[in-house]
Structure 1
Amino acid sequence: MDKEAIPTKQQTLVLFPIPFVGHVLPMLQLAKVFLRHGYNITMVLVELPVGSPNFGAGVTDRIRALNKFISFHVLPAVSYDLTENSSKPPLLVLLQLMRRYNDALEAFLCSIPRRRLHSLVTCMFSAHAADVAAKLRVPVYTFFASSASLLAVVAQLPPLLAGRKTGLKDLGEEPVEFLGVPPFPASHLMPSFLLDPEDDMFRTMISVLKRCTGTDGILVNTFESLESRAVQTLRDDLQCVPGRVLPPVYCVGPLVSEGACILDEGRADRHECITWLDAQPELSVVFLCFGSLGLISAEQLREIAIGLDKSGQRFLWTCSNTHQQAHRFLEKTKDRGFGSQFPPMTQGIISTLSFHRGS
């Protein structure tokens, strides 16, 4: 089917992120790039069952209100026994949940005239939707919101882990080597990859990694001169993953938010960190946030605090509400720093807000 006969402004790109702030917001910035090139954009979000992990009540409505040039379509909640699966890691629950939306996503894609449907763009954790695109013969791309260096690791992990009887946890601090990045201790990998190979989380994550690097192309939130070594490795058909050709890699970054916060400044629930940031000199604040699922050991926490203390620098630090050591440090340094403890699924919202102010 010849899409070239259809003017760009009449073609629709469908974006389908997992409902984490760290995936939805970068994809919104990507959407703005496509808008500037004349495409129509529809972002598909999911309504999760009550009690499942998500990124905060009301956030979806505010995102939609602040992005009026983007169409949004919400897939209705699917049935899922959260009680029966309450002992599973939240990320595993969400990944299993997302697969259940494939039928609804397929129905939505079919509602768009095929000659107008340009492609589907998924994120790393929604790449299973590529199966839907393949069924409908729709081009599908993965948007990788992190760095090319991490993508190089992601691409090489499945063959590294294939056939192992034990997880990488057994390697401890022993360095692991990936083409395109410096060696680093095995313990620095995501905890999911340190598990026993028979663990559900381990197997699910390996499946995710294989799927997200098996689409028609990968859009990476970076620029080539920043990560030339990793990008060149990803583009080397014979070197990166022996026996496998990765899809084309496109550097589309940096994608940086241009203005409006998720939480309107005029709202009563405007977070106090924004008021604090407004009072700091321009470009004077070091910002620390390790994502909504970031886990920091007590030793790492202590080293971060020592570094901040010795630097004498203003800082904003968001951390999990389980880090009591951080709370004591924040009290000690409140004359030049600001920090709060948030539930893990809320950190991403605060991190987004902070980048719009004096950091």
Structure 2
Amino acid sequence: MEKAQLVFVPSPGIGHLVSAVEVAKLLLTRQHQLSITVLILNHSFFDSKIHNYVESQRASSSPISNRLGFIDLPKDETEIFNLSSFIERQKPHVKEAVLKIIQSESGVESAQLAGFVIDMFCTSMIDVANEFGVSSYIFYTSGAAFLGFMLYVQKIHDEEKFDPIEFKDSNTELLVPSLVNPFPSGVMPSALLSGEWLPPLLDSTRRFGEAKGIIVNTFLELESHAIESLKMSAVYPVGPILDVGSDGRNTHREIMQWLDDQPPSSVVFLCFGSHGSFDEDQVKEIAYALEHSGQRFLWSLRRPPPPGLQASPSDYEDPQQVLPEGFLDRTVGIGKVMGWAPQVAVLAHPAIGGFVSHCGWNSILESIWFGVPIATWPMYAEQQFNAFEMVMELGLAVEIKMDYRKHSGVIVNCDEIEGGINCLMKHDSKQRKKVKEMSEKSRMALMEGGSSCSWLESLIKDVMNNLA
């Protein structure tokens, strides 16, 4: 069999990059004739996490590491970061990098270029793949239901001039093919209510049909209705795609030791993603709710970036400055407040019994994998949609506030939060039972003969057939 080379072009967000590399590893593990090169799009705006992650992958001594390469593209120093124009400016760098790959592969044991795997936000790279005369595959880092929702929105936008922003405060319900239940416009994803984000999202979605297939980070047992509703080019649900390698023992020993001292399934974990933070008024409401609930808790509390600054939240030097007076003293022993959290390691710990989450898709898949039920508190991007799907469609989560939006000025009061947390931590809840069952299914999907394993084999076969 001929050797094949795939080129991955992930979006520069750390969540997108990590799951793209995990897909690459899955492909390489199952097809020994395949090599993959991941192109790292580079901008001065991105934080050091991306660089550190890529270096850790380069240093790996795994059996597939000699077939997994990384190329750093030249750094873009443009002052204001706009994803669409940034991706467009990367095209010449991508073309140059791929030309070098092809030239370096021209030896006796050469690997033929079999295609591009392109992030859902980088669809203009289809043009570069076309220049090389090879197929494109989209890697969709959200779920199948949201993919179906975006295809639906794009269709009614183009055919009926539908504008999501006009429906923000209405009671309209949308009949979305990828959902069983009507979708209330009040939980329209924040990304679609942004004049900045809507046009590029629609542009990307229009181009999905040009790809030979769409790789989706989900699995059939989780989103069977959504997957079956996608009547388009080949869809490959090969998830859950997770990086669950580190146990956090070395990096966060104190946290892990604290969890070791807690009873099984007794701790509620609050963590809101790499961009999740609240102002002081909201922080106090969360604190009051935790204290009144009496639940054991581990809270990843982050400081918001200064207003108007495009930056990620940071850790407080002293969280007491935003917490109610005496809170830390009154909750000593049953609660712990920390800064950045090693989320996977925490969710994997047997002491964790519930997860108050922003409902990023990676976080949802991690919670399912470890059998931890979620209380939904979405903030931005497509998270309101994910919260609706988890609560109303799949019955795998309870609601704190499904239509919350970051920067909306809305304060969720302590009674609402406390009610959600107490509901989440019920030991005999139907959500907890369903999440445990789905956890087993998520692991079975990736095993030999499992649904995702079978879809992965189909994808590999399709990629290798490109050489014929």
TM-score normalised to structure 2 length: 0.57
Q: Greater shift after overlay, 108-117 or 215-224?
A: 108-117
Corresponding position of 1:125: 121
Per-residue CA deviation, residues 121-152 of structure 1 (Å, 9 max, x unaligned), is: 12212232222112212121112222211111
Corresponding position of 1:20: 13
| Counterpart-to-counterpart distance in 1, 2:48 and 2:156 | 32
Corresponding position of 2:203: 207
Q: How does 1:58-73 map to 2 (within 5 A)?
A: 58-66=52-60, 68=62, 69-70=64-65, 71-73=68-70
Per-residue CA deviation, residues 154-204 of structure 1 (Å, 9 max, x unaligned), is: 221212333548542543152442112123332423323113xxx343212
Determine if contact 1:20/1:54 at 8 Å carries over to the other structure.
no
1:222 pairs with one of 218, 223, 242: 218
Q: Residues 143, 49 of structure 1: CA spacing in aligned structure 2 closer, same or farther, 3 A cutoff?
A: closer
Q: How does 1:68-147 map to 2 (within 5 A)?
A: 68=62, 69-70=64-65, 71-82=68-79, 85=80, 93-110=82-99, 111-112=101-102, 113=105, 116-147=112-143
Q: Residues 48, 276 of structure 1: CA spacing in aligned structure 2 closer, same or farther, 3 A cutoff?
A: farther
Q: How does 1:304-315 map to 2 (within 5 A)?
A: 314-315=296-297
Q: Residues 299, 328 of structure 1: CA spacing in aligned structure 2 closer, same or farther, 3 A cutoff?
A: closer
Corresponding position of 2:235: 249
Per-residue CA deviation, residues 78-116 of structure 1 (Å, 9 max, x unaligned), is: 44421xx2xxxx6xx234322222212122223325962
SS in 2 for 1:117: strand
Corresponding position of 1:174: 171
Q: 1:35: how far off?
A: 1.7
| Counterpart-to-counterpart distance in 2, 1:229 and 1:278 | 39
Q: Greater shift after overlay, 113-122 or 201-210?
A: 113-122
SS in 1 for 2:7: strand
Determine if contact 1:145/1:221 at 8 Å carries over to the other structure.
yes
Q: 1:311: how far off?
A: 7.0
Determine if contact 1:44/1:73 at 8 Å carries over to the other structure.
yes
Corresponding position of 1:11: 4
Q: Which amino acid aligns with 1:28?
A: V
Q: Which runs of 5+ in 1 are unaligned?
A: 238-245
Determine if contact 1:317/1:339 at 8 Å carries over to the other structure.
yes
Corresponding position of 1:37: 30
Determine if contact 2:119/2:140 at 8 Å carries over to the other structure.
yes
Q: Residues 222, 310 of structure 1: CA spacing in aligned structure 2 closer, same or farther, 3 A cutoff?
A: farther
Determine if contact 1:22/1:291 at 8 Å carries over to the other structure.
no
| Counterpart-to-counterpart distance in 1, 2:207 and 2:302 | 30
SS in 2 for 1:100: helix
Q: Percent identity?
A: 26
Q: 1:252: how far off?
A: 0.7
Per-residue CA deviation, residues 286-316 of structure 1 (Å, 9 max, x unaligned), is: 5454443468899998998898778765554
Q: Which amino acid aligns with 2:30?
A: H
Q: Residues 183, 58 of structure 1: CA spacing in aligned structure 2 closer, same or farther, 3 A cutoff?
A: same
Q: 1:233: how far off?
A: 0.7
Per-residue CA deviation, residues 211-259 of structure 1 (Å, 9 max, x unaligned), is: 345411111122212211111111xx3xxxxxxxx22111212223342
Corresponding position of 1:185: 184
| Counterpart-to-counterpart distance in 2, 1:300 and 1:152 | 34
| Counterpart-to-counterpart distance in 2, 1:301 and 1:213 | 44
Q: Which runs of 5+ in 2 are unaligned?
A: 305-312, 314-318, 353-468
| Counterpart-to-counterpart distance in 2, 1:214 and 1:13 | 18
Number of aligned residue pairs: give it. 321
Determine if contact 1:19/1:55 at 8 Å carries over to the other structure.
no
| Counterpart-to-counterpart distance in 2, 1:193 and 1:44 | 29
Determine if contact 1:78/1:101 at 8 Å carries over to the other structure.
no
Q: Which amino acid aligns with 1:107?
A: E
Determine if contact 1:53/1:94 at 8 Å carries over to the other structure.
no
| Counterpart-to-counterpart distance in 2, 1:320 and 1:160 | 39
Q: Residues 43, 165 of structure 1: CA spacing in aligned structure 2 closer, same or farther, 3 A cutoff?
A: same
| Counterpart-to-counterpart distance in 2, 1:230 and 1:311 | 36
| Counterpart-to-counterpart distance in 2, 1:297 and 1:153 | 31
| Counterpart-to-counterpart distance in 1, 2:208 and 2:333 | 45
2:43 pairs with one of 45, 49, 53: 49
Q: Which amino acid aligns with 1:50?
A: S
Q: Residues 225, 203 of structure 1: CA spacing in aligned structure 2 closer, same or farther, 3 A cutoff?
A: same
Corresponding position of 1:351: 343
Q: Greater shift after overlay, 173-182 or 215-224?
A: 173-182
SS in 2 for 1:207: helix
Q: Greater shift after overlay, 301-310 or 17-26?
A: 301-310
SS in 2 for 1:108: helix
Q: Which amino acid aligns with 1:180?
A: S
TM-score normalised to structure 1 length: 0.72
Q: Greater shift after overlay, 54-63 or 200-209?
A: 54-63
Q: Which amino acid aligns with 1:44?
A: V
Determine if contact 1:18/1:24 at 8 Å carries over to the other structure.
yes
**Is the aligned partner of 1:292 residue 2:291?**
no
SS in 1 for 2:343: helix
Determine if contact 2:283/2:323 at 8 Å carries over to the other structure.
no
Per-residue CA deviation, residues 252-283 of structure 1 (Å, 9 max, x unaligned), is: 1222334236x7x54xx647545544555566
2:144 pairs with one of 137, 145, 148: 148
